[in-house]
Amino acid sequence: MRYPTLQQSLRINREIAPQAVEQVIDIGAQRKTDFLMDVYPDKHHHLFEPVSTYHPDLEKNYRDAGISYTLHKQALSNVDGMLYLHNTSVDGSGRVTHSHIKPEREDDLDFLVNIEEIETRRLDSIMSREGLGDLSYLIKLDVDGVEEQIIEGGQDVIGGASFIIIEASIGRQDLCSRAALLEKCGFRMFDICDNAYYFGQLALVDLVMINNRLRNQEIKFKPWQYTEGKVVWSKWQHGFGDHVNEPVTDPFAED
């Protein structure tokens, strides 16, 4: 049974095109990214994480897992300069849960823990497609709302990636716009994974986008052409079998 999880999606991609991911660019790594560590433990991970609170745990987690990594402490944006990182705790614990890059200080921001003045760089200022190897790396983007600025500042590197994973929010209404933006960069949808629900309602998804140049090189990424238009029913899956009949409880009921 195929489920819409990032682990399964990336394992299928690795099976079809093992050469397509020799390095991982993890933008917004926080303390670790489990699915990337799970699927690519033998690849080098470039960890972009500007929040200093996360750094000790982040480095320990990758060291303990025996995964080769480089920690990049800069924030990524569409400019090379200095901006303000606003760390917030949205669950009331006082522990940093989210961070937001802003051009000015906002001392009255809801759930604010602290503000750090940080260096910001364009992805294209730090890396190059030639240095990484065209169509040989994956990029994950999860940075609380500034993904578009990072894409703007990393057009060359973005365009050379085999796959892009980007978080999309139903609340921000950016699912369609982010998919369309990456389509303009030469990608198309491969998968929609890890649906997150809040009070029973869709809140977040992860989009897996494949570079059209990679897709065109490997016929297994084009299953209808692979089967010459014939439907192979044993390879067709619709829904999730017995899960369809599982009861749904009131999400607003007291726990």
| pLDDT tens digits for range 134-179 | 999 999 999 977 899 999 999 999 999 999 999 999 999 999 999 9
Q: What is the pLDDT of residue 241?
A: 85
C-alpha count within 13 angstroms, C-beta hemisphere, residue 51: 26
* pLDDT over threshold 80, residue 220: yes
The rounded distance, in Å, linking the Cα atoms of 9 and 13 is 6
* Residue 109 buriedness (CB in 10 A; 0-12 / 13-18 / 19+): middle
pTM above 0.85, yes or no: yes
With 0-12 / 13-18 / 19 or more C-beta atoms within 10 angstroms meaning exposed / middle / buried, residue 66 is: exposed
Whether the CB-CB separation of 75 and 50 falls below 8 Å is answered with yes
Closest CA to 141 of 187, 109, 103, 108: 187
Judge whether residue 198 has pLDDT over 90: yes
DSSP 6: H
Separation CA 43–CA 134 (nearest Å): 16
Closest by CA position to 187, among listed 173, 170, 208: 208
What are 119's two structure tokens? 């260096």
| Residue owning tokens 């609170």 | 53
Is residue 106 predicted with pLDDT exceeding 90? Answer: yes
- Contact 115/134 with Cβ under 8 angstroms? no
Distance (Å, rounded) from C-alpha 40 to C-alpha 85?
30
Residue 45: both structure tokens together: 């991970």
Distance CA 194, CA 215 (A): 23
- 243 confidence band (pLDDT: 50, 70, 90): confident
Residue carrying the six token digits 């049974």: 1
Contact predicate 51/30, CB 8 Å: yes
pLDDT over 80 at 255, yes or no: no
**Residue 189's beta-bridge partner residues?**
209
Please, which residues have CB within 8 angstroms of residue 94's CB and are 6 or more apart in sequence?
113
Which domains are seen in the chain, by residue range?
6-84+122-245 (3.40.50.150)
